[in-house]
Amino acid sequence: EVAFGYKGLKILLYYIAGNLSTFFRIEYTSKVNEKFDCVEADDVESKIREIIPPGFCTNTDDFVSLLEKEVNFKPFGMLLHTYSIHNEEAGEDITYQIYKADMTCPGFREYHERLQTFLMWFIETASFIDVDDERWNYFLVFEKYNKDGATLFATVGYMTVYNYYVYPDKTRPRVSQMLILPPFQGEGHGAQLLETVHRYYMSSPTVLDITAEDPSENYVKLRDFVLVKLCQDLLCFSPVKLMQGFSQEMVTEAQHKLKINKQHTRRVYEILRLRATNMGDAEQSRSYRLDVKRRLIGPYKKKQRELAKMRRCLRPEEMTNQLNQIDLNMQREQLEESFQQLVSDYRRVLERLAQA
């Protein structure tokens, strides 16, 4: 946003990599006052103080002294998964760990207050959650590294999941927030985190399926990759069965073994069938296109039903054949465009899968 009323404004906001202790200070060379055309400068400091929790440092020496205590910081909760990623710049494999935590972990509440502030800096329309609700689960990613003979941890990202009740005795975990911090983006941590969370809930007999709250386009692409990776070895997704079409067997097995709902299973089927289809073969290509378009045409059929109702209510001159024909042509174009975009997205998932 634009901060009014300052010259040479600098907003200094630093986090220590592990426990996220914070340093905050505002610097500027000059600032307007009421004598300047009866206006005041924006209260930038108050706006940021509303977001970051109390207890932050404003003195550089105090903040530097906290760095020495980083060696005492350890991740919260239960270790779920350890993995390594090769870092070209460092020329070595770097170790990462994923933990599951909750508010009963000593010190985690205060840590989470600092952690969630990153949402405000990097995600549009983000908001804080009610941490007093015990249905929340927290999954944290840390980089594990050595410095001067000591083992230290740096915060990489996290995910919050809310466990909704499903009558009579099930729960439906719903991913609410997910953030990988910018220095670590593009390295595969999001996929590692989402797959780890899925595997955690897969082992629970009380979980019905796993969903997401208002997923972004990037999250949907990430989920496609992770779910296809999990499903590709199921017998119901063998090439022979894929070519026979989408089946109830796929829905049942994906939900029972992997906690994937019907809608997401259908996308997995379409991606894996694309891999099994020779798109250079006219008959196979046509069969695949029609299969996907039968699903995509659902909203258009609904619109046709609405048009049919309008025809019964409006006078003939208000609903001409020409208008209907234009509408149908537009729908065909939109349907083909949707199909081509979907295939393009699916191909990217398959390319990533081939490199995994």
Query: In this structure, how many other beta carbons lie within 10 angstroms of the beta carbon of residue 306?
Result: 9
Q: Which of 244, 329, 350 is nearest to 288 (CA)?
A: 244
* Contact between 107 and 76 (Cβ < 8 Å): yes
Per the residue annotation, which of 27, 40, 45, 213 is the catalytic one? 213
Q: Which residues have a Cβ under 8 Å from the Cβ of 196 and sit 6 or more positions away?
A: 80, 81, 98, 139
- Annotation says 283 is catalytic: no
The 8 Å CB, 24+ separation contacts for 256-263 are 257/202, 258/198, 258/202, 258/227, 258/230, 258/231, 258/234, 259/198, 259/201, 259/202, 259/207, 259/208, 259/209, 259/210, 260/209, 260/210, 260/227, 260/230, 260/231, 261/209, 261/210, 261/211
Query: In this structure, how many other beta carbons lie within 10 angstroms of the beta carbon of residue 33?
Result: 11
The catalytic residues are 213
